Structure 1
């Protein structure tokens, strides 16, 4: 079987090569099976019935209408961890440039016109800043990126406090024993010399750092935000810089308020801007797309549950449906009435939605599939 993939942004060649010979890449396809993209906005797009999946080569998915996709049975993937090392390196860089006044010093030195060596020796004292060794770093969010940063910081001699009430088992296994657990944000605010944010942006996390939380922090704390600009209240952090509560703010999401402000280091969204990161994200997005289109397996979806099972039997059926009682029973009954035996099955749920994979001992009949499609709450049925 062949598939058509539409690209909305330039996707690294190494990623597209993961798809193989049975895929046609077409950036103008009207009826694609899947879409690969990076930052293009999809909120105004109309989705054809052919569209089965959308994969973003990156972690954030604010540019994709997640709920609308779920309602149509379109599985949306992201690539958590694929750009983790790139962001880790920028976070370490951010701590250094916020502490040592390196950016200010470079800009000052580039403005010198004569007696440069003499002026450098006379003026360098104004750019003195503390070392990282022995300082306390608070890491808020211990996903793939947060864990790498926490571990790297311990190797730099920093004392690290980590906070994440939803830390995964995999992340916990990868975390250095030297990282201390903070039971709440207040612990980090009261003890950290540096705070770095690595959490998703949503209604609950919007403005996590604000006037109230700044009031709990150590004087001169440095804030690193490489996650989402909206996690920090702009007006409140500018006020905190003004009164000396915040020693420096490094943001990878500059806006009009953050440009040319003392104490603010604005980076032009460079978190994942490395060739290695772009390749890793593209490859991961392509592999997840390929696995879903060819086998129905889901990994790293943001709107449906992770659901994977080795392929066995004569035929595979996948069902995207609402997470309501007796769905699996109704699906099984529809197959039994058509005298089709189930060889293997898996069902997973996530919030309002669920996903079922069924491997059948014999090929199903059209009548059984039609009955499954007619079940209330069923969104999409695929026969693979």
Structure 2
């Protein structure tokens, strides 16, 4: 039996550069996958080195760890297969609460509005029946937009100003500084977000029996499966549309994504863990490919995502490519500039061998220090040799 291929060692400065460059874009076409063996410090790198910077200024980062409910049962190097899988309901709740919190911050920043929520929801869902149910107006023939306005007004009446301020994180002083128009505008957006969740809950309630039948018969339905991820994917789309450079730049980190694939379901009224997992990833990929999505990071120790996922999803470019050209394309200008200063213009380098010869020639002529020699060769390796993933 052939020996397993050894893990490639990626220098931490290179890894941080790749992750930071992905995070600095407000919208991207692909998800970034961080795949490495257990216990090497992937979570520590994210939590201690990167997240503090990714939550400063206009940056906002949501962090979800699907293994959080079971971490007490094993060490960081142990396989998840040796631990009882978490309930799917807990994983869903963690993801939805994280995205809801981010959406509320988007409302506070003024980038997510009631009309935007309506337009996005109406693009994918028929709203009239659900809105009539919520308004107890079964015979109403008003347009979806008119029904939406009435429903938002109704929810606003149930949501007091103090509650809206609490949801948005405003203190007493900040609340007093808001004008009447600003307070009304923000309260309407908060009510619209709550209404959108109620609409999706009503529609999911109508599909409960169909999902139960799908689970009993084993007949797959893409529509029913995707309905289980309607709410988190709506929030992702809203946040992606709201992203704006230097004003509001949300991103999402999902740690231990493979745990979701093995999550358990205690009743037949919900889709299984694998179906929920596949639906979530497929819709994130589709959002990025079709309209661009906020930066999403999937952290995993499962080789499935690196070597098998593209076969199942039928899309070879499912995650950021390993090719050097892709690394250069995603390189943020602030990070690329020092590289070009050190080793010259990337475009002029015909090959790795010629570039090394040029560097050596410069070293001989300039009589550079050992530290400078090390830096130049390191940057050359980063651009031309190292695997950017």
Q: Normalization by structure 1: what TM-score?
A: 0.24
More strand by share: 1
More helix by share: 2
Which fold has the larger relative contact order, with Cα–Cα distance below 8 Å and residues 6 or more apart in sequence? 2
